Amino acid sequence: MASEVHRSQTHLTQSRANFMILVFTAIFGFIGLGYIGAVIGYLIPLKGAGSRPQDLGRVSDLAFNAGVAGPFTYDATGRGDAQGVFAVRTGSGSEVNLVLEQTCRHLGCPVAWTPGSSTFNCPCHGSVFNKIGDRIAGPAPAPLYKHNFRIKDGHLWVEGRQA
């Protein structure tokens, strides 16, 4: 009976094979965690992450047509996906009151400014938005995205989507 080895004692000794299995499991586990982290980062972006202020030019040089200038190219998310934005004057003054994104909230089509009717129209599915971006008609579920902006030294700076 003294020569009998308990089964639990055989599992306590490490062999090269067990060590290599442990090492490769750890390596592939860390690689898998990296992929999972990348997928989560893609699916759940940080709100406002990456967007940087962008100068659209001097306000006096912007070509306004019935109170709207644009579209201007702007990286709305900070990830290199350029969006168009419009600068809007809602009153009779010369100041910009609003910056609207060109993206329709229905399926992401670019809207166009129609000065004759003073509306933004989506050519794909027929959504219509008024001059301040509110939905008037069509399948879009929400108004156009608004962007934060400021006027600095006569230049219009767009600073990212409003939350």
**Hunting for tokens 């100068």 — which residue is that?**
55
Residues constituting the chain: 163
Q: For residue 27, give both structure tokens.
A: 């390596």
Residue 1 lies in a domain: no
Q: Which of 93, 90, 76 is nearest to 148 (CA)?
A: 76
91 and 149 co-located in one domain: yes
61 and 39 co-located in one domain: no
Residue 48 lies in a domain: no
Q: Give the predicted TM-score (pTM) of the model.
A: 0.65
95 and 128 co-located in one domain: yes
Residues 90-123 pLDDT 10s = 877 778 889 998 888 888 889 999 999 999 999 8
147 and 113 co-located in one domain: yes
- Alpha-carbon gap, residue 14 to 94, rounded angstroms: 79
Residue 16 lies in a domain: yes
**Structural domains in the chain (count):** 2
118 and 68 co-located in one domain: yes
120 and 154 co-located in one domain: yes
User: In which band, very low, low, confident or very high, does the pLDDT at 50 lie, cut at 50, 70 and 90?
Assistant: low
Q: Which residue range(s) make up the domain with 102?
A: 54-161
More confident residue, 3 or 126: 126
Say which amino acid occupies 18: N
